[in-house]
Structure 1
Amino acid sequence: MRLEGKRIFISAAAQGIGRASALACAREGAEVVATDVNIEGLRTLSAEDSRIETLPLDVCDGSAVSAFASAQTPFDAIFNCVGFVHNGTILDCEEEDWDFSFDLNVKSAYRLTRALLPGLLDRANQTGTAAILNMASMASSIKGFPNRFVYGATKAAVIGFTKSIAADYASRRLRCNALCPGTVDTPSLRERIATAADPVQAEKDFIARQPMGRLAAVGDIAPMVVFLLSDESRFVTGQAVLVDGGVTI
């Protein structure tokens, strides 16, 4: 199996891409530690696969992240998957919206990566490779989208964060990449569609911007997560990897 013997951390694992990735990594032989603030989602995840250990964790709580990291043995790879999509232009973005989005989408990755980095470097030294994967988006420095002002800004920051870590630690065989999905059919997306003025048209609009004529499924994204966390990608670092159905062609 592709992740046999590896210990992997995944945040925001109770639903959507995080959940699909946790299950995919476990199927490939990894020992997965999955966290979220969604306790019920974690409960059903651990029930689905006994190789997944689930723990509640608020990634915006620095003390909680530090306590979590100190209680863990080193990871071979981590996936900072947590994120939030704010809708609107700069005029719709109050300071509290800006601060919340950057705290959740960017600073959480900083907290977790900094806390878990010593263990990752130790594993890279022992095995010859370790990996960090950060959740970015096609809506970032790669391409701008209407009504994604602060979301796009945070995801561009994630790409810069990723490249900086990759540059600092490539010589120590620690890889760092960013995942940039297109529009994925997740519970989060369904909530945004449901709250639109015209949900039917909103779904049509999301689909219309995908050249392949459909939304991505979480199963379209999880295989790339497995690849980027596995030794198969041991010569890949500092990349913003697109899985967007052709949006950015």
Structure 2
Amino acid sequence: MTGKTAVVTGGASGIGRAVVEAFLREGARVGVVDRDPPAAGPGDLDFTVVGDAGAPDTWQQVHDQVAEHWGGLDVLVNNAGYGIRASVTDTSWEDWQAIVTTNVSSVFLGCRTAIPLMRKTGGGSVVNMASVAGHIGMSERAAYCATKAAVVGLSKAMAVDHASEGIRVNCVAPGTTDTPYFSKISAHLADPDAYRADLAARQPLGRLGRPEEIAAATLFLASDESSFATGSVLTVDGGMSIW
């Protein structure tokens, strides 16, 4: 990744932050998009855009920052996303719109911005953060499953459309990963430890994933080491989808 330019959404914490740190270690120049500015570290960022990845004006800022700092772009990681615990009948219209905006529209807007910038560098790599939930059904995760399946479908379509331009589009599909967001959503439960243990038991490996493990898969797809991969979904879920 030495000398490559990369933008990571949701890069202030969790998986996104682990991706940023991995890219920096490998010599990339990195810009971050997040609703919250990164806390102390990761250092050496070329720029940070504080904003909603599902908003067009945020991506105009990203475009302007890339043009100012780099001229073109090599890598985009669309990592921003979240889930809600609800069936279809328990999901409000407002919640549905919000999760579609964050999980799907952000990918559309990011790629619509990044692909013309990648043309200037002669090609590039897009890595979209899908989920194991995008290809298996999960109880009370209707909107999340739908949006992550949409990310996979959109990625495959873009992979076909832009292969001739040297632009690769792939997905990473994590299983349940131990992030600050995971801790936040489980903290209100009566027994967070039991909940964590139940989720860990869903994986044949018997534990939750670590952000750096997802980052390693993302790094592979972002780098030239995966130069023959496009339209792929790299599942990193501790075996959860085997069941």
TM-score, length of structure 2 as denominator length: 0.94
CA distance in 1, matches of 2:57, 2:87: 33
Alignment of structure 1 residues 117-156 onto 2, 5 Å: 117-123=115-121, 125=122, 129-140=123-134, 142-156=135-149
State the alpha-carbon separation in 1 of the partners of residues 193 and 64 from structure 2.
47
> Residue in 1 aligned with 2:103?
105
Of 42, 49, 59 in structure 1, the residue corresponding to residue 43 of structure 2 is 49
CA distance in 1, matches of 2:107, 2:184: 24
Deviation of residue 51 (structure 1)?
4.8
Alignment partner, residue 201 of structure 1: 194
Contact 1:43–1:54 at 8 Å: present in 2 too?
no
Q: What do the CA deviations read for 1:63-120 (whole angstroms, capped 9, x no partner)? A: 2322321331311010000001111111111111111110000001111110121111
Distance 1:66 1:49 in 2: 24
CA RMSD, Structure 1 to Structure 2 (Å): 1.3
Partner of 1:225: 218
1:208-238 CA-to-partner distances (Å, cap 9, x unmatched) read 1011011111121111111110001111000
Aligned equivalents of 1:90 and 1:245: distance in 2? 27
8 Å contact kept, 2:36–2:51: no
Q: What secondary structure, in the 3-state scheme, does the structure 2 residue paired with 1:241 have?
A: strand
Matches within 5 A, 1:32-111: 32-39=30-37, 42-45=38-41, 48-51=42-45, 53-72=47-66, 73-111=71-109
**Residue 37 of structure 1: how far off its partner (Å):** 1.2
Give the Cα–Cα distance (whole angstroms) in 1 for the partners of residues 113 and 206 of structure 2: 41
The SS at the match of 2:128 is strand
* Match in the other structure for 1:165: 158
Deviant stretches of 4+, over 6 Å: none
Q: Say which SS state the counterpart of residue 235 (structure 2) adopts.
A: strand
Q: Secondary structure at the match of 1:139?
A: helix
State the number of aligned residues: 238
Once residues 57 and 158 of structure 2 are traced to their aligned partners in structure 1, the CA distance between those partners, rounded to angstroms, is 23
**TM-aligned CA deviation for residue 138 of structure 1:** 0.1
Q: Distance in 1 between matches of 2:80 and 2:58?
A: 16
The answer on 1:16 being equivalent to 2:4 is no
Structure 1 runs not aligned, ≥5 long: none
User: Does the aligned pair in 2 maintain the 1:79–1:132 contact within 8 Å?
Assistant: yes
Q: Secondary structure at the match of 1:25?
A: helix
8 Å contact 2:32–2:45 — kept in the other structure? no
SS class of match (2:154): helix
Q: Distance between the aligned counterparts of 1:13 and 1:238, measured in 2?
A: 23
SS of 1:180's equivalent in the other structure is strand
Task: Give the Cα–Cα distance (whole angstroms) in 1 for the partners of residues 3 and 65 of structure 2.
Answer: 20
CA contact (8 A) 1:167 1:238 kept: yes
**Distance in 1 between residues matched to 2:26 and 2:188, nearest whole Å:** 37
What per-residue deviation string (whole Å, max 9, x for no partner) do you get for residues 160-202 of structure 1?
A: 0100000101111100001100110001111121122332221
CA contact (8 A) 2:8 2:16 kept: yes
TM-score (norm 1): 0.92
Does structure 1 retain, via aligned residues, the 8 Å contact 2:49–2:62?
A: no
Residues 78-87 or 50-59, more deviating: 50-59
**CA distance in structure 1 between the partners assigned to 2:21 and 2:61 by the alignment:** 25
What letter is aligned with 1:44? Answer: A
- Quote the offset at 1:44 in angstroms: 1.4
